């Protein structure tokens, strides 16, 4: 009789034909978070993760998220939660990418790995430390969940690209789509950062510009485009990247819906926009 892990592994193999799930037991065990999605996806639809505008300010389990006036030296724990839960992903990617033998020398794999590191360098260091004026506290359970996922995500993607498979997808179109998604994600995040910097504002405002004309969460939309592009470049067999795409959709789709509803409740003059996909939803 199959356990849930075996059912999920067989299903994922049927979709991706990724032989690494069977040929490398250590890699398969590191991919254990595949099992969680049949259980966790419904929870994302019901619960708003406690960070950002949905953070619980008075919880005893909050981790610090804010640096005032970028005074890092005066507040060494400021932004600790965000940086620490994100930086683990590129660290584990680098560790597993360079520690596997035999090591594949494949230009496509290296470029996909570079794209991964560019994204996470910006997400874990550049954006929180040098671009964001402040960050809301993050609840301990959000931090632990993100740490666990990012640990496995960075590890399995680095491992696969290093020694388990070769990028065999539509490489150039996929990488172009990743570039557009990354640029769009960064651009729309900058719009949000600028709102907090203008006049020293600490409260939320209605963002305008770019795809904000059409949707409430263009930064989420562009991040989804970014990772779908990288999956297309890597190919169907690169199961870790496609697991990440599934995880991203499971988190960002309900989060976009919640953000959209929050904006409409909070601002009576909020423009007519869709939540996540222009002209669709």
Q: What is the spatial distance between Cα 251 and Cα 271, in angstroms, rounded to a whole number?
A: 25
**DSSP single-letter state for residue 125:** I
In a domain, 150, yes or no: yes
User: For residues 39, 45, 50 and 52, what is the CA-based torsion angle, rounded to 10 degrees?
Assistant: 130
Cβ neighbours, 10 Å, residue 168: 14
**DSSP single-letter state for residue 64:** P
pLDDT value for 73: 38
* Residue 8 predicted with pLDDT over 60: no
Q: What is the pLDDT of residues 91-124, one digit of tens each?
A: 999 999 998 877 777 899 999 999 999 999 999 9
Within the chain, strands assigned E span 62-63, 138-139
In a domain, 107, yes or no: yes
Q: Output the pTM of the full model.
A: 0.81
pLDDT value for 5: 45
Domain that holds residue 34: 18-56+86-266
Q: What is the pLDDT of residues 210-220, one digit of tens each?
A: 999 999 999 99
Q: What is the pLDDT of residues 52-73, one digit of tens each?
A: 454 455 656 666 554 444 444 3
- Residue 274's φ and ψ, nearest 5 degrees, are -85, 170
Percentage of the chain with pLDDT > 90? 44
Q: What is the pLDDT of residues 218-266, one digit of tens each?
A: 999 999 999 999 999 999 888 889 888 988 898 899 899 999 999 999 9
Strands 138-139, 62-63: parallel, antiparallel or unpaired by DSSP? antiparallel
Strand, coil or helix: what is 280?
Answer: coil
Across the chain, mean pLDDT equals 79
In a domain, 4, yes or no: no
Name the residue among 70, 158, 152, 83 with its Cα closest to residue 123. Answer: 83
In a domain, 46, yes or no: yes
Number of compact structural domains in the chain: 1
Q: What is the spatial distance between Cα 91 and Cα 64, in angstroms, rounded to a whole number?
A: 22
Confidence of residue 145 (pLDDT cuts 50, 70, 90): confident
In a domain, 48, yes or no: yes
β-pair partners for 274: 215
| Unique residue bearing structure tokens 């965000």 | 82
| Unique residue bearing structure tokens 């929870």 | 43
Alpha helix (H) ranges present in 62-217? 80-99, 107-121, 140-159, 171-197
pLDDT value for 257: 93
Peptide bond into 36 cis (omega under 30): no
In a domain, 114, yes or no: yes
In a domain, 35, yes or no: yes
User: Do residues 221 and 166 lie in contact, with contact meaning Cβ atoms separated by under 8 Å?
Assistant: no
pLDDT value for 61: 60
Q: What is the spatial distance between Cα 250 and Cα 37, in angstroms, rounded to a whole number?
A: 9
| Unique residue bearing structure tokens 């209605």 | 206
In a domain, 140, yes or no: yes
Which three-class secondary structure string do you get for 142-172?
Answer: HHHHHHHHHHHHHHHHHHHHHHHCCCCCCHH
Confidence of residue 182 (pLDDT cuts 50, 70, 90): very high
């Amino acid at each position: 009789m199959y356990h849930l892990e075996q059912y999920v592994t067989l299903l994922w193999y049927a979709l991706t034909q990724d032989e690494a799930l069977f040929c490398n037991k250590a890699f398969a065990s590191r991919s254990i978070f595949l099992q969680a999605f049949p259980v966790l996806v419904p929870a994302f639809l019901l619960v708003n993760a406690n960070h950002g505008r949905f953070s619980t300010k008075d919880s005893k389990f909050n981790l610090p998220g804010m640096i005032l006036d970028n005074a890092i030296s005066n507040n060494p724990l400021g932004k600790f939660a965000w940086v620490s839960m994100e930086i683990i992903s590129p660290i584990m990617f680098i560790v597993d990418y360079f520690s596997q033998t035999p090591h594949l020398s494949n230009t496509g794999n290296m470029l996909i790995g570079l794209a991964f590191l560019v994204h996470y360098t910006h997400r874990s260091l550049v954006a929180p430390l040098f671009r964001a004026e402040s960050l809301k506290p993050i609840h301990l359970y959000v931090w632990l969940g993100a740490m666990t996922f990012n640990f496995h995500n960075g590890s399995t993607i680095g491992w696969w690209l290093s020694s388990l498979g070769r990028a065999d997808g539509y490489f150039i179109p996929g990488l172009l789509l990743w570039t557009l998604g990354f640029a769009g994600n960064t651009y729309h995040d900058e719009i949000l950062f600028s709102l907090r910097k203008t006049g020293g504002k600490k409260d939320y405002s209605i963002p305008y510009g770019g795809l904000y004309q059409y949707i409430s969460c263009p930064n989420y939309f562009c991040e989804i485009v970014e990772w779908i592009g990288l999956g297309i470049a890597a190919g169907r067999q690169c199961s870790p990247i496609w697991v990440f795409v599934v995880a991203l959709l499971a988190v960002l789709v309900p989060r976009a819906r919640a953000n959209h509803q929050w904006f409409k409740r909070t601002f009576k003059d909020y423009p007519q926009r869709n939540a996540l996909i222009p002209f669709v939803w």
